[in-house]
């Protein structure tokens, strides 16, 4: 594949194109290098929004009481944004308030669970990647699908019943690829009044010389997930703005919304150089509820150092590989990586009925999120940890193809067919090539022991029965 053309993104709100080709050219985006610059302010270390502090309150604590407690020393601090259902609040800390001092004061107030900076993170692709014009045929026939065994996986699972929340720049659900898809009403946590439709505002909000460079990122990710798990339900949650940036508060709200909606999988295309305790807490709540959280490993070509939240325990952090299972030059790698997936020259959907090529670990993460939905649909009794384990145990080993990177590309490259077929094969307890009453008898006879442990939790129980029934030969 040779990219035909690379163009700057223009204002989608001003478009009135009727021909698909013209619309495709309009949204083809060239992304200027954009990386957050660490602050030199001793009161605001790292990458965070100035004059803001993010806090989490214990259940019965009133924000008014917290403000009253700090009022003598910080009389100008007020509530800027609130998510009371999560116990989260953003406080305005106008100069000369020192954010670091305010955080220390807040942590001394009874009922304040956590206080932190309102960190800024980005989609990995907002730093260096580009979108290039593509055709529908490029999308439907790309190398990733046969490499992952997509058609074989679809013979077993289509993702029915799984709910995938996509935390990104929004979603243009009118794209023809999503015809017939189950897409819930999107929610917008950015606050720029654009809604969740993946549109630009025509303004260079981050002053990097490029306008709306990440419009379409969410639609691109959603197209990949929908193709892998076409019967899964999609919940678009916009927490990343048109430039590819998002605050910890916005992303935490989106994670909370995904949890409240009953999401099975969260695709989180967001990374930061600085960890955020409050966002970590929200992600951990989702994991505790059995949600599979998938994130990109990052596009900085760094080996060993993990960005946040890819560094969190229990997250599926995904590196990018090419058509030959070689690590992409741009992809981060290290012991924090759990899986690899195709992320080079990937084609997918863009707003205005268009298609584009791009590279990135966000694309690789989307492949894994789709795979998680397939496994969830095939094994509805699996826990989130069991889904993660199945995706990893069924991966194709690629260490030998990547000298010097042994153990740094996770369990291997995602294999969708093996992730679901391995489950069916394991349920054939008597080895006769079918899953039927004979296997059911063997499983019941092994109840409470490890003899017919199909999900690897050490005992034969109801979860294993669910696997066997789902694999029943029809």
Question: For this structure, is 271 an active site residue?
Answer: no
CB 267, CB 366: distance < 8 Å: yes
Separation of first and last alpha carbons in the chain: 41
pTM: 0.83
Output the CA–CA distances (angstroms, integers) from residue 286 to 147, 279, 454, in the order listed: 31, 11, 25
Which tokens hold the place of 10? Answer: 């223009």
Question: For this structure, is 168 an active site residue?
Answer: yes
Tell me the Ramachandran region of residue 92: left when phi exceeds 0, alpha when psi lies from -120 to 50, beta otherwise: beta
What 3-state DSSP class applies to 259?
helix
What is the dotted CATH code of the domain comprising 12-31+122-416?
A: 3.40.50.200
Q: Which of 116, 138, 168, 172 is catalytic?
A: 168
Tell me what pLDDT residue 139 has: 97
For the chain, residues with pLDDT lower than 50 are 1-38
Q: Which of 175, 217, 226, 378 is catalytic?
A: 217
Q: Which of 157, 300, 362, 394 is catalytic?
A: 362
**Digit-coded pLDDT (tens) for 256-313:** 999 999 999 999 988 888 899 999 999 999 999 999 999 999 999 999 999 999 999 9
Closest of 142, 159, 438, 351 to residue 452, by C-alpha: 438
Tell me what pLDDT residue 424 has: 66
CB 360, CB 125: distance < 8 Å: yes
At 187, give phi and psi (nearest 5°): -120, 145
CATH class of the domain at 427-470: mainly alpha
**How do the domains of the chain map onto residue ranges?**
12-31+122-416, 52-116, 427-470
What is the dotted CATH code of the domain comprising 52-116?
A: 3.30.70.920
**Digit-coded pLDDT (tens) for 394-426:** 999 999 999 999 999 999 999 999 999 866 667
In eight-state DSSP terms, residue 186 is: P
Tell me what pLDDT residue 160 has: 97
């Amino acid at each position: 594949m040779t990219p035909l053309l690379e163009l700057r993104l223009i204002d989608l709100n001003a478009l009135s194109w009727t021909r698909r080709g013209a619309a495709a050219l309009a949204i083809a985006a060239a992304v200027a290098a954009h990386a957050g610059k660490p602050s030199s302010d001793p009161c605001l270390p790292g990458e965070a929004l100035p004059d803001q502090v993010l806090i989490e309150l214990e259940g019965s604590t009133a924000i008014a009481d917290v403000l009253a407690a700090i009022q003598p020393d910080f009389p100008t601090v007020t509530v800027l944004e609130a998510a009371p259902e999560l116990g989260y609040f953003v406080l305005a800390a106008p100069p000369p308030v020192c954010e670091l001092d305010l955080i220390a004061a807040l942590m001394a107030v009874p009922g304040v669970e956590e206080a932190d900076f309102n960190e800024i993170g980005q989609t990995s692709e907002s730093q260096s990647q580009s979108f290039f014009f593509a055709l529908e045929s490029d999308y439907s026939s790309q190398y990733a699908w046969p490499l992952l065994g997509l058609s074989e996986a679809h013979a077993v699972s289509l993702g029915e019943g799984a709910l995938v929340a996509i935390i990104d720049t929004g979603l243009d659900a009118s794209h023809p690829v999503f015809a017939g898809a189950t897409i819930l009403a999107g929610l917008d946590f950015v606050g720029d009044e654009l809604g969740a439709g993946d549109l630009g505002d025509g303004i260079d909000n981050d002053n990097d010389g490029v306008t709306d460079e990440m419009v379409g990122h969410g639609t691109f990710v959603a197209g990949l997930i929908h193709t892998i798990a076409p019967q899964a339900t999609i919940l678009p949650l916009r927490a990343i703005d048109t430039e590819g940036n998002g605050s910890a508060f916005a992303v935490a709200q989106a994670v909370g919304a995904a949890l409240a909606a009953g999401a099975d999988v969260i695709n989180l295309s967001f990374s930061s150089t600085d960890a955020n305790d409050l966002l970590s807490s929200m992600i951990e709540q989702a994991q505790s509820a059995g949600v599979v959280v998938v994130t990109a490993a990052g596009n900085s070509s760094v080996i060993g150092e993990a960005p946040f939240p890819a560094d969190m325990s229990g997250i599926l952090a995904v590196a990018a590989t090419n058509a030959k299972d070689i690590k992409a030059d741009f992809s981060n790698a290290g012991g924090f990586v759990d899986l690899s997936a195709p992320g080079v020259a990937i084609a997918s959907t863009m707003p205005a009925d268009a298609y584009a090529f791009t590279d990135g670990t966000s694309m690789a993460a989307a492949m894994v999120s789709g795979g998680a939905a397939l496994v969830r649909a095939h094994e509805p009794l699996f826990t989130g940890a069991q889904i993660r384990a199945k995706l990893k145990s069924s991966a194709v080993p690629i260490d030998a193809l990547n000298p010097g990177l042994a153990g740094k590309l996770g369990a291997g490259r995602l294999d969708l067919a093996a992730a679901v077929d391995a489950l069916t094969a394991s349920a054939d307890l008597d080895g006769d090539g079918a899953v039927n009453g004979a296997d059911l008898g063997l499983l019941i006879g092994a109840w409470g022991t490890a003899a017919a442990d199909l999900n690897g939790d050490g005992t034969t129980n109801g979860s294993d029965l669910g696997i066997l029934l789902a694999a029943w030969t029809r």
